[in-house]
Structure 1
Amino acid sequence: MTRSKWGAQVWQILLAVVVALVGLKVFEMRNSIMMMHTSARIRLPDFYIRQQASDMGPVRCRNVHGAYVEDSRAHSVDPKTNKPAQTTESCEDVRMSTWLGIAVFSCDPGRVKWNAVMGPLDEPHKRGAIWILDYKDPDAQPYYLQIDQFPTTYDFHPLGLSLLDLSPTLARLFVVNHRGVGNTVEVIDMQKQAGKWKARYVRSISDVVGTHAANSIQALERNELLVTNMHTAQKRTPPQPFVDRTVEHLYGAKINKYSDYFGDSRHKDNIRAMENVVGGGWVAHIKFGDEAPKPKGQLLERYEHDVKAHAIAKRIPFANGIATTPGLRHVVVASTSTPGVLIFPVVRWTEDGEPDWQRDDVLGQRIVVPTPFFADNLEVVPPKPAQKVLPDDPLFGAKIIVAGHPSLPDMAEMMQNFGSNQLRGPSWAVEIHYTGQTAIPDDAPFPADKRLAGLPRGWSVRTLMQTDGRPAQYDGNRVELPTSCGVAWDNHGEGLGTIIFSGLYSPAPLVCQGVYT
């Protein structure tokens, strides 16, 4: 065989391999492609919540509305006073403390004008707010959390949350803040006084790896966090020197030569789309000190004081929600564009029996469990006492609950026609757990398994809630939840079987009681 013929065959073989790999990737992403281009409204019911055995009583659901709180920098307007005011609209995340009996919401009614993830990028100077719900009271409504000493010059666009219980009257709250200049994590101490929670600003955190594209948080200790970062290229780009340092830390000096592309408006959208496929997101471990930086304006560099961060998991397509399993045995991450949940086992431990977060290889090979929607935020529900655990269950009886978006066109249509009751983005939430050889059917009107591809053996994905997003009647109440993005669940009796859903562009969070495992 001549050299030219041999070379031609090699190129044919290489081309065939490339085509096969691309075809395999397209096959794996067929559900994502469908969700990016088709509506889900006609497939989903007006409203469905999983029912329990008849002897456990009915499931009751209601939207919870906080009272308007006057704020000159709020996006919404109080209809009674016609003044700007905060309200429980467009709540991105919800975190629950079963010990303290509270749920915490991050709400930003101005998200329709300022969205650093998807756009638009108008009115960054407006503010959102944090709200508290005493969810063990079946009639409670959320109340506004006043944050003392929070600098009046800072804009506040809260996204991901994490709540660390310290005592029955003390807690530390961490909040991702998508500011106009860039992303920070706000550290806030909470104290219960006269039956209500008050708060005090501690400091802001910024780091080129830890908060570059921060989305969700899992607190480990008072001064230690895990933070997901979505992309290297962002819709709203931080100052170029920050982008340069981020690219160099993640990819090295050779790739850093091209870091201008990650912030260039002509290229960053294409780069971000590519990152959603190949995996441009990561999980960062952060340690910090409580000492607040001295005031020097709002430059991101000032928030780097006494902050150390490094990436412990990379190549995650659109890293979003994050949580840890009991005993810190696993780190669970929502990968929005996979779409699904990634379960990372902790494989490096210190002599004291704690995860060795200082090591870049602290996490092992991930398990991928697909979801029938673009996964957003998630939570891990611990097993009940004396619950039977399968010997090969990686989660040791815990369950993962995750909410998300079954159709991007529906969401985009809602954003463009904000306020319409007809053009709503649908919502879907599921429960993921290990069942071994036992297959558990999904009784939802549109079962999850009709949209799942490549479900690993032994895993179950069951619907908790689904809706086409439009207002509906349920048990005599008017309920609605467009664009679900967060979920928290206390499935114990003393918690009233309370499950809470937040919505990216929803007029109010949805609370359902009587939902048990």
Structure 2
Amino acid sequence: MRLFLVTLTPLLGLFIWRSKYTFYYNILTKMELPDGYYYEGEVSSHCHPMNSAPNLSFKYCEDASFWDHYDADGKLEERRVVVSCDSGRREWNTVMGPLLDPTPRGSLWMYSPISGETTHLTLENFPAEHTFHPLGVEIYPSYSGNASYMYVVNHAANKTVIEQFRVSPSESVAKHIRTLSHPFFVASNALALTSPTSFYVTNDHVFTKRLPYVGAVLPMVETVLGIPLSFAGHVIINPDETDETAVLSHTVVAPFVAFSNGLSISPSGLELAIASTSIGTVYFYSRNTSTNALTFSTSVQLPFPPDNVKYDHYGNLVVSGHPHFPTLLQLVAGKVDIAPSWVVSISRIQGAVTAEYDLNAPLSTSTIVPSPANHTVQTLFQSNGKIFTSSTSGLIDTLSGNLYVTGLYAEDGAIICHP
């Protein structure tokens, strides 16, 4: 027992030291954020709900991804946005709890910047007995109007799986193809496609809320102490939709991450980013495009625990997250109505890094965390929760300049900010 304690104490000290910025700024103190800040103009006149027609299902939205449509010549015609929402999240949340009622289904939505409309995607051929609680969502580009594969992480009643759908640009229907299951889909969270039939996927915890007796304690210990048990893997699935062996391989490519959450592949395909929520850090990996192997390259400390990450088409990484963890827990428990939001863009730079950056934001990143090596950080959106609450995903459309932000417990679901 004594040897165990002698070994455990320095390990716990190391974990706490790694999480020092998160502990101080995001747990022990509550930062003073504005009601709302948008880097391209006044929030009140530039930002509005994505779904202008009220719908009780379009709320509590977790992830958002672009769906690019190309013509026969390879020209980009439209960049739609697919959003995953779960109006039953207060009754079923396998990451933060509670696990009360998995019956009400979550939903998928599609926003078109050309029409300005948000459309509900009807689930076709989805098994009647299946429960559906979507988190990460990714969809392969459409070429010359062809249908695309869409993959959605589903925190279903019995276990976490990944659903495969087919979506056509001319229909508002997600046709269910099959449910992907694997022993390493322990707590799958986010996806990044490497082909129509392969993808990276994070698993945010090893200990989950589903565990009997210890599920109420161990996941929180893993989260708060920043214990690096979670991981990301690369998955290859069978292109034959009828074959019973759906998952051909799962390879762990990024082990030992503390609460691995969102991940994204750069436009060049040569870099992959993973959010480590517990320690408020984004890890960057060099990617072998032939083997999909990853090699750690660098990291960037952020002033908040990051949730999802998305590269824009210029190679800047948009990161959204939760500036105050205790308030988020209170929001989950229904004790408060709002929680803070923060969205930033991380850009690689050449030359010396200055100590002061992000100076236009009401609360500057540079006043909280050290200057990142070879990168700079710019705040795109901030709110103490009054304008928009519990941000999880941020997307920048480099065509229109629009910023899209989803909210885990936002009644509006998601907002659009126009420059």
Determine whether 1:506 maps to 2:410: yes
Alignment RMSD (CA, Å):
2.7
2:263 is paired with a residue whose SS is strand
Whole-Å separation in 2 of the counterparts to 1:22 and 1:318: 16
Q: Which residue of 2 aligns with 1:342?
A: 283
Determine whether 1:491 maps to 2:398: yes
Deviations 1:33-90 (A, max 9, x none): 12453453x60000000037x9xxx972111226467xxxxxx5xxxxxxxxxx2100
Following TM superposition, by how much is the alpha carbon of 1:200 offset from its aligned partner in structure 2, in angstroms? 1.0
The structure where helix makes up a greater share of residues is: 1
Whole-Å separation in 1 of the counterparts to 2:12 and 2:174: 51
Maintained 8 Å contact 1:233/1:269? no
Q: Which residue of 1 aligns with 2:167?
A: 190
Following TM superposition, by how much is the alpha carbon of 1:220 offset from its aligned partner in structure 2, in angstroms? 1.2
Maintained 8 Å contact 2:238/2:245? no
Rate the CA distance shift 1:190–1:180 in 2: closer, same or farther, 3 A. same
1:152 is paired with a residue whose SS is coil
Following TM superposition, by how much is the alpha carbon of 1:278 offset from its aligned partner in structure 2, in angstroms? 3.0
Whole-Å separation in 2 of the counterparts to 1:233 and 1:21: 18
Maintained 8 Å contact 1:51/1:59? no
Q: Which residue of 2 aligns with 1:269?
A: 217
Q: 2:82 aligns with which of 79, 89, 104?
A: 104
Maintained 8 Å contact 1:205/1:304? no
Determine whether 1:145 maps to 2:121: yes
Maintained 8 Å contact 1:66/1:88? no
Deviations 1:157-209 (A, max 9, x none): 0000111113142222110000010011111111122xx44321111101112
Q: Which amino acid aligns with 1:144?
A: H
Q: Which amino acid aligns with 1:344?
A: Y
Q: Which has the larger radius of gyration?
A: 1
Determine whether 1:310 maps to 2:251: yes
Q: Which residue of 2 aligns with 1:462?
A: 378
Following TM superposition, by how much is the alpha carbon of 1:382 offset from its aligned partner in structure 2, in angstroms? 2.4
Q: Which residue of 2 aligns with 1:204?
A: 179
Maintained 8 Å contact 1:67/1:143? no
Rate the CA distance shift 1:304–1:235 in 2: closer, same or farther, 3 A. farther
Whole-Å separation in 2 of the counterparts to 1:305 and 1:365: 30
Q: 1:325 aligns with which of 246, 266, 276?
A: 266
Following TM superposition, by how much is the alpha carbon of 1:20 offset from its aligned partner in structure 2, in angstroms? 7.5
Whole-Å separation in 1 of the counterparts to 2:18 and 2:359: 22
Write out aligned runs for 1:226-241 (5 A).
226-236=200-210
1:326 is paired with a residue whose SS is coil
State the percentage of identical aligned residues.
24
Whole-Å separation in 1 of the counterparts to 2:17 and 2:253: 29
Whole-Å separation in 1 of the counterparts to 2:16 and 2:206: 23
Rate the CA distance shift 1:322–1:59 in 2: closer, same or farther, 3 A. farther
Following TM superposition, by how much is the alpha carbon of 1:270 offset from its aligned partner in structure 2, in angstroms? 2.9
Q: Which residue of 2 aligns with 1:90?
A: 60
Rate the CA distance shift 1:144–1:267 in 2: closer, same or farther, 3 A. closer
Following TM superposition, by how much is the alpha carbon of 1:415 offset from its aligned partner in structure 2, in angstroms? 2.3
Q: Which amino acid aligns with 1:369?
A: V
Aligned residues: 401
Whole-Å separation in 1 of the counterparts to 2:284 and 2:277: 14
Determine whether 1:44 maps to 2:22: no
TM-score for the superposition, normalised by structure 2: 0.88
Whole-Å separation in 2 of the counterparts to 1:197 and 1:366: 41
Rate the CA distance shift 1:279–1:23 in 2: closer, same or farther, 3 A. closer
1:112 is paired with a residue whose SS is coil
Q: Which residue of 2 aligns with 1:428?
A: 342
The structure where strand makes up a greater share of residues is: 2
Whole-Å separation in 1 of the counterparts to 2:89 and 2:151: 20
Deviations 1:369-410 (A, max 9, x none): 111111000101122xxxxxxxxxxxxxx2101000001111
Whole-Å separation in 2 of the counterparts to 1:512 and 1:267: 39
Deviations 1:92-148 (A, max 9, x none): 0011235432101000011011100010001111101000100244xx231100121
